[in-house]
C-alpha cells in the first residue's frame, strides 16, 4: 500500500511538472504567436486600405487630367475650325476666336506646362486682326503644336496610369498572399494550441485521479494501521494476561513443591 501511495505521488509530481514547465509555457507561447500574427494581419489590411485609397486618389487625378486634356483638345479643334473659316474676318468672328482661346485657357490648369504656350498664343492673337495670312498660319501652327503636346500628355498620363494600376494590383496580390500565409500560420498555431490544451486537460484529469488514488491509498493504509494497532493491543493484552496467569501458576507450583505432604493422612 505504501508503494501504491509513492507511485501515485510520483505520478502527481511528474504530471504537475509536465503541465507547469512544459505545456503551460507552450500554450502561452502559442497564444502570443497567434496574437502577433493577428497584429501582422491587421497591419497588412491597413496597408491594403492605404494603398487602395492612394490608388483611388491617383485614378481620380488621372480622370480629372483626362477630362482637362480632352476638353482642351476639343477647344483647340473648335479654334482651328474657326480659323479655317476666316477669310476676311469680321469683328464678331475675331471675338469668337478670342473666346475660343479663353476656353482653351480655362481647360488648362495654370500650373501645367502648357499654360505658358496658351498665354503666348492669346497674346499673339490679341495683337492681330487676322488679315495677315502669315500671322494666321503662325497661330494655326501654334494651335496644332499645342494640340500635339496635349495628345502627348494624354498618352503619357494613360501609360502612367496603366503602370500605376499594374503596380497596385501586384502589390495587392503580394499583400493578399502575405495575409493568407499569416492565416495559415494562425490556423496551424490554433491546432497546436488546441492539442496542447487537450493535453493539459487530460493530464489535469489524470493528476486529479491519481490524487484521489493517493488519498484512497492513504485512507486504506491508515485503516489498516489502525486495525493493526487494535489487533496488536489485543495481542499485547492477551499476552500480558497469559504471562500473569503463568506467573501465578508458577508461584502455586513452587508453593506446592515446597510443602511436605508426607505426614498428611487422608
Q: Which residue has the cell 496574437?
A: 35
Q: Kindly list the structural domains of the chain, giving each domain's residue range(s) and its CATH number in brackets, ordered by start.
A: 55-175 (1.20.120)
What's this model's pTM, rounded to 2 decimal places?
0.68
pLDDT in tens, 99-126: 776 777 676 665 466 666 666 666 666 5
What's the CA gap between 107 and 63, in Å, rounded?
14
pLDDT in tens, 8-61: 889 889 999 999 999 999 999 999 999 999 999 999 999 999 999 999 999 999
Amino acid at each position: 500500500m505504501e508503494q501504491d501511495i509513492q507511485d501515485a505521488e510520483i505520478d502527481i509530481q511528474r504530471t504537475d511538472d509536465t503541465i507547469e514547465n512544459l505545456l503551460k509555457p507552450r500554450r502561452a507561447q502559442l497564444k502570443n504567436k497567434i496574437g502577433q500574427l493577428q497584429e501582422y494581419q491587421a497591419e497588412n489590411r491597413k496597408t491594403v486600405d492605404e494603398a487602395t485609397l492612394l490608388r483611388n486618389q491617383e485614378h481620380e487625378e488621372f480622370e480629372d487630367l483626362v477630362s482637362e486634356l480632352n476638353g482642351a483638345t476639343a477647344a483647340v479643334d473648335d479654334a482651328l475650325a474657326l480659323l479655317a473659316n476666316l477669310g476676311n474676318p469680321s469683328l464678331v468672328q475675331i471675338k469668337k476666336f478670342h473666346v475660343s482661346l479663353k476656353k482653351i485657357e480655362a481647360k488648362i490648369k495654370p500650373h501645367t506646362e502648357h499654360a505658358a504656350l496658351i498665354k503666348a498664343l492669346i497674346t499673339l492673337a490679341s495683337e492681330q486682326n487676322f488679315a495677315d495670312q502669315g500671322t494666321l498660319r503662325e497661330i494655326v501652327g501654334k494651335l496644332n503644336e499645342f494640340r500635339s503636346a496635349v495628345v502627348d500628355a494624354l498618352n503619357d498620363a494613360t501609360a502612367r496610369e496603366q503602370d500605376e494600376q499594374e503596380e497596385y494590383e501586384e502589390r495587392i496580390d503580394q499583400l493578399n498572399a502575405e495575409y493568407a500565409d499569416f492565416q495559415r500560420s494562425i490556423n496551424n498555431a490554433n491546432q497546436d494550441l488546441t492539442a496542447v490544451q487537450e493535453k493539459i486537460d487530460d493530464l489535469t484529469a489524470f493528476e486529479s485521479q491519481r490524487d484521489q488514488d493517493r488519498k484512497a491509498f492513504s485512507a486504506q493504509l491508515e485503516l489498516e494501521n489502525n486495525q493493526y494497532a487494535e489487533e496488536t493491543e489485543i495481542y499485547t493484552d492477551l499476552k500480558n494476561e497469559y504471562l500473569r496467569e503463568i506467573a501465578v501458576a508458577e508461584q502455586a507450583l513452587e508453593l506446592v513443591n515446597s510443602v511436605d505432604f508426607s505426614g498428611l493422612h487422608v
